[in-house]
Structure 1
Amino acid sequence: MRIVTVGDNCMDVYLASGKAYPGGNPVNVAVYLKELGADSSYIGWVGNDQYGDQMIEAVQGKGVDTTFLAKKDGKTAVTHVELIDNDRRFGDYDEGVMAQFTLTDDELEFIHTHQLVHAGIWGHVEWYYPLFKQKGLLTAFDFSDQLEHGLVKTLPAFVDYSFFSYIKDDEYIRGFLKEVKKQGSRVAVATLGENGSIAYDGEQFYQCGVLEADVVDTMGAGDSFISGFIYGTLQGQSIQQCLTLGTKTAAKTIRYFGAW
């Protein structure tokens, strides 16, 4: 099982403690997939600063292939994080060198040696999705909580597994997921925080609740859910089983500080 994640990374800097943890949706997904047993690679840019060195060392330490994790002149992306009742709240985000991110021909060739490619809404990778599909890759994309973003209208045609973040199972999210499916996604999925998750495949809705866990920090919960779902999918599991595996993977993540 070979999966490549592409795009944004950042150091999550907790304002209260000053501690910094590596993160960013594609990075987190690659790490969690490796922990689940997949062969994962990550492609992105970091700055030539201390945070860049820390990011490279941490991702390599998890066994993720970083052949195309490049160091560029400038700053590594940083997100400032506050914890309010153990729930993470994002503050200022400095994109650093990732603001100019593009893929080289060598990187595109490398991506095409994988079964599935995953990226997120802040990663500057959306332009490449028609090419990924043309090359026969399975595709996943995290739209986060940006349900009104312009990409929601154009990208699902090239995304097999579209992921969103919302608050509860209601009429709005069900209608929304139906629209995403209609645009071309194979399965449209929404995580609902403490209300679990929901998926739609064009025929029916699937639901999964959350597992009881001692919440220390919710950072990375959505990303670990995505990893579990993708892993289950490539193993040939049913959508219901994929939701369950995503939920179990997320339950582990919220028991410690930082994404991983």
Structure 2
Amino acid sequence: MNTTITCFGETLWDVLPTSKQPGGAPMNVAADLRNFGINAQMISRVGSDELGTELLDFIAQKGLPLELIQIGQTHLTGVAKANISDANEVTYKIVQPVAWDYIQQAPNLTEAVRNSDFFVYGSLAARSPQTHETLLALLDVAQRKVFDVNLRAPHYERGLVEELLHRADIAKLNEHELIELSAWYGEESDLHAAMHQLRARYALDVLCVTLGEHGAVLLDESGLYSQVGFPVEVADTIGSGDAFLAGFLYKTVQNEPAQKTLEFACATGAYVATQRGATPAFTEETIRTTILLPALPV
């Protein structure tokens, strides 16, 4: 598969009560895409500290190239303190400022994004002026732009999110984020109506809204598609939304119909929820045999 997908933004350590796990939404998406055999790569920045070295080692182990990950001398590697007391809604305290707040524009980044089929970005990395400026420059050369909205209070404000939505071709968000965005405009609180309004407002090709354990909904030019959730025993939900996006992009690349794409994306997110940590190893066959096939009628 010759498709190249570049993910941009935060790489960090999720600090859990008894351990630390590599994380950051764009890095999780990139690692999951590599599981599927996609040529995924990551643009980010780490510190020249022990945590940075460990993170680079982990990223390399996941098969991701390191050429687009900068190493800074003045800021520490990113850390997020995760609260997993609610198994279905992990919350984070994200340290600021850290290395990924200072991603510098460079010719190799521009070339990588220009030559990619998809460019994945979120709102969190744009919290700082330097990385925000770099992101906007890369969006200027990106082919297909995928906005993983990923609102993390207090690291965003309305104008920033609107700016990034206007640049997107595809947007993915969860139902709570959709409610918040719809409230900005005093629009429909009904899920489907709100999706139609948001897609129209920002001229999006595709809008995906995840519903946690209840599945997801997809809206594109051909219509609205719904997928119920897959019942699984949850280990933790860290990385499940990122896995959903990776599954969605994997099937989008294969030109699968919207309903099949949505089903597979939900199954990928469900599988990751059964595993500890954000980036377990898996293949398409793993998803099919452990999540999809058991749900088929006998």
Q: Does the alignment reach a TM-score above 0.5?
A: yes
Match of 1:100 in 2: 102
Report sequence identity in percent: 23
> 2-side partners of 1:66 and 1:27: how far apart?
12
**3-state SS of 1:123 partner:** helix
Match of residue 218, structure 1, among 207, 231, 237: 237
Match of 1:83 in 2: 84
Q: Give the counterpart letter for 2:94 in structure 1.
A: Y
Match of 1:181 in 2: 199
Contact 1:158 1:185 in 2 (8 A): no
Q: Does 1:14 align with 2:20?
A: no
Deviation of 1:230 (Å)? 1.0
Deviation of 1:33 (Å)? 0.3
Question: Highest Rg: 1 or 2?
Answer: 2
Deviation of 1:136 (Å)? 5.9
Q: What's the TM-score once normalised by structure 2's chain length?
A: 0.79
**3-state SS of 1:84 partner:** coil
> 2-side partners of 1:218 and 1:27: how far apart?
16
Deviation of 1:161 (Å)? 1.0
Match of 1:111 in 2: 113
> 2-side partners of 1:145 and 1:24: how far apart?
13
Deviation of 1:126 (Å)? 5.8
> 2-side partners of 1:142 and 1:7: how far apart?
11
Match of 1:208 in 2: 227
Deviation of 1:77 (Å)? 0.8
Aligned length in residues: 258
Q: Deviations over 1:38-69 (max 9, x none)?
A: 01111100111221111111111011122111
> 2-side partners of 1:20 and 1:93: how far apart?
14
Deviation of 1:175 (Å)? 3.3
Structure with the larger helix share = 2
Q: What's the TM-score once normalised by structure 1's chain length?
A: 0.90
Match of residue 156, structure 1, among 154, 165, 171: 165
Q: Deviations over 1:138-189 (max 9, x none)?
A: 1101112479833443333321110111259994433332233212210111
Contact 2:239 2:278 in 1 (8 A): yes
Q: Deviations over 1:75-114 (max 9, x none)?
A: 1111101222534532321131122223212211122111
Match of residue 139, structure 1, among 120, 139, 145: 145
Contact 1:120 1:143 in 2 (8 A): yes
Q: Does 1:31 align with 2:22?
A: no
Larger mean Cα displacement after TM superposition, 68-77 or 132-141: 132-141
| Unaligned segments of structure 2, at least 5 residues | 180-187, 280-298
> 2-side partners of 1:172 and 1:126: how far apart?
32
Deviation of 1:252 (Å)? 1.6
Contact 1:5 1:41 in 2 (8 A): yes
> 2-side partners of 1:131 and 1:238: how far apart?
32
> 2-side partners of 1:99 and 1:134: how far apart?
20
> 2-side partners of 1:235 and 1:133: how far apart?
24
Larger mean Cα displacement after TM superposition, 37-46 or 138-147: 138-147
Deviation of 1:130 (Å)? 6.6
> 2-side partners of 1:184 and 1:128: how far apart?
24
Structure with the larger strand share = 1
Deviation of 1:241 (Å)? 1.5
Contact 2:45 2:102 in 1 (8 A): no
Deviation of 1:21 (Å)? 0.6
Match of 1:64 in 2: 64
> 2-side partners of 1:92 and 1:41: how far apart?
26
Contact 1:45 1:69 in 2 (8 A): yes
Q: Give the counterpart letter for 1:82 in structure 2.
A: N
| Unaligned segments of structure 1, at least 5 residues | none
Q: Deviations over 1:115-137 (max 9, x none)?
A: 11101111226656776565461
| RMSD between superposed Cα atoms in Å | 2.4
